[in-house]
Every structure is written in C-alpha cells, then in structure tokens.
C-alpha cells in the first residue's frame, strides 16, 4: 500500500456508530436508537447541511477526556492500516464547548492518543463558520493556553452564506501566533470563496476547492503558487457535490497541474477511509498508479510537518 499523508480529516467524523453506542452507554446519553445498523441507515445525505445535522447530533456522546482519547486512538489505528504515515487532524472545539465539555478534556484526550501512536500527527483547530467570527475569536483566545498542542487553524461547517472574508481578524490573530492557516472553500461555495480564502485569510492550503475549476484565472493562480487542494472524493459523492465518482473533476485538476491530495474528510459517514478513497479512484474512475503515486507524493509535499515518506 502506498505511504501517504492525510491532510483533511475531521476527528469527529471518524466517530463510527459502534463507538457512538459504546460511549452513549458509558456516559448515560440517550440516543434515538442503539442499533448501529439503524444509525448507519440514516447516513443518506441530501447535501452538506443534512450531514452536519447528524454529525453534530452524534457528538453528544463525546463528554470526557477518555472519550476523545478513544476516538483519536481508534482513528489512528485505522489510519495506520490504510498506509497513513502522517495525519494533520481537524477538530471542532466549539462543537464541544457549546455542550459544556471543557477544552482541557478535548486537548488532553486527543493529544494523549496522538502521542501514543506510531503515526506522525498534528492537530488543526477549526472554527465553525456558521457560528460567526466573534465566537471564533473568543474560541481562539480561549485555546491559546493550549497553543503548543495545535499547529494551525481552519474553517469548516456550513459554507454558503458564511464567506471567508468574515473571518479576516481571527485569521490575522492566528497568523500572529505562528499558526498555519487552511479553510474549507469551493465545496458547496463558488470560486469566489476560494479567492477570499487566499487573499483575505492567506490560507496555505484549500480544503476541497473543487469548484475552483469553474474559474480559469483561479486555476492559474493555484497552479503558479502550488497551493495544495485537499480533495475528498467519497465525501463529494455522499454529500452530492458530484453525482457519481465517475463525474469527479479530480483527474482534470491533475491535468491542469494542480497540487491535488486525496483525503477522507469524515470517513465514518462517507463510506471509507483514505486508502478506500484511493482504491475507489482506481476502480471506479480508472485512475492510474502513476496518477495515484503523484497524489500520494503531493500529500507529503503539502504537509505542514515534515515527515519521512520512504516506504
């Protein structure tokens, strides 16, 4: 299996139904059903928002430091099996703070699991864009005591109606703290959101970014500056951003000379981890080993943390 880095992975999106049920029982949290098959049967999404509703609901089971540890430890075991040598992992502190979970529990649990795994890894703190810029700034300030436990900031959750430019100030503060910067843009939002992420937030990678292909000037900019795009093919199909994998624009992005990587986004919800994404691109889209090798090499080049990529 080819060694790869995973650069677009929400740790809360690795919460498998089996762990939802186990943590609900452990924490005395009520669920609409304790049947994992019934939970999975609800994972038929019409769009990003219909996924996010269930994603935030399921997080109710995450309460203690041990829960965050077990979540991340389970992901890192899966990642190792999938040939991941290095993972830059998103987490959503606001989603936990608003449920009364202290930041200490989130950071201590995640950091302990990351430190115990043979897979190299780092954390990227994501702001929930639909909760606004003011709250994002408050969250960043509240997390600065934990500054050594994360390497960067990102922007996720419901994209359309929440453009990157609203978050200029919080990204400026993050840059001043030496934090790396990424943002989800061009998943459901148009190329204008990608322009704003680059020009206003000064992001160093674009998460998704597939709709950049609608704007030739933007494609030229991304190519010339070698801005990495963290594409998530199975996610795009399950959230109906593309009709089927066969329709995915990823091969055209590679042909344009873009710095494309392949990632799993929320693997517990979208039907596969990162190697499953690579395999689907080969089996369903007919991508060649040469193309997939290029993508895997890109993933190391696009990492913020240097890692040994040798097999």
List 70, 88, 187, 275, residue binding ligand ES4 (CB under 6 A): 187
State which residue, 156 or 275, has the beta carbon closest to ligand ES4: 156
By the rule CB under 6 A, 6 interacts with ligand ES4:
no
The whole-angstrom separation of Cα 30 and Cα 44 is: 22
Q: Which of 197, 186, 201 is nearest to 236 (CA)?
A: 186
Q: Which of 116, 48, 32, 60 is nearest to 269 (CA)?
A: 48
Residues in the interface with Zn ion (CB under 5 A) total 1
By the rule CB under 5 A, 265 interacts with Zn ion:
yes
From the list 65, 88, 187, 196, the catalytic residue is 187
The closest residue (CB) to ligand ES4 is 156
Shortest distance in whole angstroms from residue 235 CB to ligand ES4: 5
- 187 is annotated as an active-site residue: yes
In the β-sheet with 228-231, what is the strand arrangement from edge to edge? Answer: 4-6, 84-91, 120-128, 152-156, 180-185, 205-208, 228-231, 259-262
> Binding pattern to ligand ES4, positions 224-253, x when CB under 6 A?
-----------x------------------
Measured CA distances, 20 to 123, 141, 210, 269 (Å): 22, 30, 31, 12
Beta strand ranges found along 152-258 (DSSP E): 152-156, 180-185, 205-208, 228-231
> Binding pattern to ligand ES4, positions 258-277, x when CB under 6 A?
-------xx-----------
Active centre residues (catalytic): 187
Question: Residues in the site for Zn ion, rule: CB under 5 A?
Answer: 265
């Amino acid at each position: 299996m080819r060694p790869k880095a995973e650069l677009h992975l929400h740790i809360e999106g690795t919460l498998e139904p089996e762990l939802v049920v186990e943590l609900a029982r452990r924490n005395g949290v009520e669920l609409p059903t304790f049947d994992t098959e019934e939970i999975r049967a609800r994972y038929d999404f019409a769009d990003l928002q219909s996924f996010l509703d269930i994603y935030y609901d399921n997080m109710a089971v995450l309460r203690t430091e041990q829960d965050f540890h077990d979540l991340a430890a389970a992901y890192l075991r899966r990642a190792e099996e999938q040939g991941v040598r290095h993972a830059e992992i998103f987490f959503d502190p606001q989603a936990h703070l608003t449920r009364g979970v202290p930041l200490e529990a989130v950071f201590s649990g995640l950091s302990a699991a990351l430190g115990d795994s043979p897979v190299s890894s780092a954390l990227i703190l994501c702001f929930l864009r639909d909760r606004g810029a003011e709250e994002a700034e408050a969250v960043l300030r509240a997390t600065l005591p934990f500054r050594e436990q994360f390497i960067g900031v990102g922007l996720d959750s419901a994209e359309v109606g929440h453009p990157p430019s609203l978050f200029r100030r919080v990204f400026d503060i993050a840059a001043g703290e030496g934090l790396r910067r990424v943002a989800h843009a061009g998943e459901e939002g148009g190329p204008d959101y990608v322009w704003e992420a680059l020009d206003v937030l000064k992001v160093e990678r674009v998460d998704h970014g597939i709709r950049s292909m609608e704007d030739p000037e933007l494609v030229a900019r991304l190519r010339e500056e070698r801005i990495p795009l963290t594409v998530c093919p199975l996610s795009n199909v399950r959230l109906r951003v593309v009709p089927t994998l066969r329709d995915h624009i990823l091969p055209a992005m590679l042909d344009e000379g873009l710095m494309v990587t392949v990632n799993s986004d929320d693997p517990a919800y979208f039907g596969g981890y990162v190697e499953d994404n690579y395999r689907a691109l080969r089996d369903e889209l007919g991508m060649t080993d040469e193309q997939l090798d290029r993508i895997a090499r890109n993933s190391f080049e696009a990492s913020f943390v240097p890692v040994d990529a040798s097999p």
